[in-house]
Amino acid sequence: MELTQRQKIIFKTIVDEFTRCAEPVGSKTLMKLLDFPVSSATIRNEMAVLEKVGLLEKTHTSSGRVPSQKGYRYYVENLMETNLDANVKHSLQQVFSERHYSLDEVVEKSCDILSHMTNLTSIVLGPDSRSQKLQHVQLIPISEKSAVGIIVTDQGHTENKVFDFGTEVSVQDIKTCTDLLNDQLVGTPISEVVDKMKEIEPLMAAKVVRHEVLFEAFVTAFMRFATEKVKVSGRSNMLYQPEFSDLNKLKELMAVLESSSLFHQWTDQKDNVAIQIDQRNELLQIGDCSVVTTKFHYNNDEEGQLMVVGPNRMQYSKVVALMDYMSSVIEDVFAQKGGGNDDEQKE
């Protein structure tokens, strides 16, 4: 569809105003907002054209108009301007450069910042390590009852964990266990390591005195490593969106946000409409909800996603600008830290 320049300005103004205040926008309001002189009758005529081509809709409760799903898509693809305030950029840089963050900490902090700054629900998916293969295991004693375990995959993903055994474990046991795991498990997909460990448990029992303690510690570590890294923040923000005043609709959305499997089913429905904004950002429309996704790279081989979930009436320009810049900051942090090694992570 080809709009005139005036129609584009009027439509963009309607979208910007409606996403800000959630109230249908009428001709009198537009007369005050537009920075060029135009009569109320002319505005109404232009709004009628925009409604005819499917970009605007009438509401039952007002003479004003609201953007349609198609209208939001047109706005995102053709009219959206994504500028982020310099102070916000500086604040984000400061947050992530304060110290060395592990992957899990970055996922959690990014999620909290997104939900706070957008007043919507944010979801961050960390890189999925389950399909990667184990390349190396190392266990370094730090006391008689604790050690640092290092897990490295064939794609360079490294995670560290401090093991508190609760009892004394000898240096010899630690060395024997490490040698055994490297001999038996290297090349095994991360998702299969726990099952493989159960197979070699008798061998470990025969060679390692405190094998129960070490076996349990590594099984727990690998189970956590193979779990999809998902963080959700700001679910309660949906309570304040007028689009979800219907209690049943709200309950359904909350159930989806509580379950990663339900969320994947929800976003994979065949009726969903996906709009590629640019190489990094995408808009997914699911009924009267929208999901904006932005990719970030943890290293050369691993990818994560930032997501913001809300009503179709969200401030797309602000949301996309924030997510795009945040993903760049995250990538810069991990590039400076040598690819995201989690050498300071403790649990």
Helix (H), strand (E) at residue 47:
helix 40-52
Q: Which residues contact 261 (CB under 8 A, 6 or more apart)?
A: none
CB half-sphere exposure, 62, CA atoms < 13 A: 13
Domain(s) of CATH 1.10.10.10: residues in the chain: 5-79
Q: pLDDT per residue over 187-207, tens digit each?
A: 998 888 889 989 999 999 999
* Predicted confidence pLDDT, tens digits, the chain (347 residues): 689 999 999 999 999 999 998 899 999 999 999 999 999 999 999 999 999 999 999 877 667 899 999 999 999 999 998 888 888 888 888 887 776 666 667 778 888 999 999 999 999 876 666 667 889 998 888 888 888 888 888 876 777 778 888 889 899 999 999 999 999 999 998 888 889 989 999 999 999 888 898 888 888 888 776 666 678 899 999 988 888 888 888 888 998 888 877 888 899 898 999 999 988 899 999 988 999 999 888 766 677 889 999 999 999 999 999 999 988 888 887 776 554 444 333 33
Instruction: Name the CATH topology of 5-79.
Output: Arc Repressor Mutant, subunit A (1.10.10)
- Pinpoint the residues of the chain covered by CATH 3.30.450.40: 86-128+228-336
* Residues of each domain in the chain carrying CATH 3.30.390.60: 134-225
Q: Does domain 86-128+228-336 have CATH number 1.10.1780.10?
A: no
Q: Quick one: pLDDT at residue 229?
A: 65
Q: What is the pLDDT of residue 122?
A: 94
67 burial class (0-12, 13-18, 19+ CB within 10 angstroms)?
Answer: buried
Q: How many CB atoms lie within 10 A of CB 64?
A: 20
Q: Output the pLDDT for position 247.
A: 86
CATH architecture of 134-225: 2-Layer Sandwich (3.30)
Q: What's the confidence (pLDDT) of residue 347?
A: 39
DSSP code string of 212-275: HHHHHHHHHHHHHHTS--EEEE-GGGGGG-GGG-SHHHHHHHHHHHH-HHHHHHHHT-TT-EEE
Rounded CA separation 313/68 (Å): 9
**Residue given tokens 């009924």 in the structure block:** 287
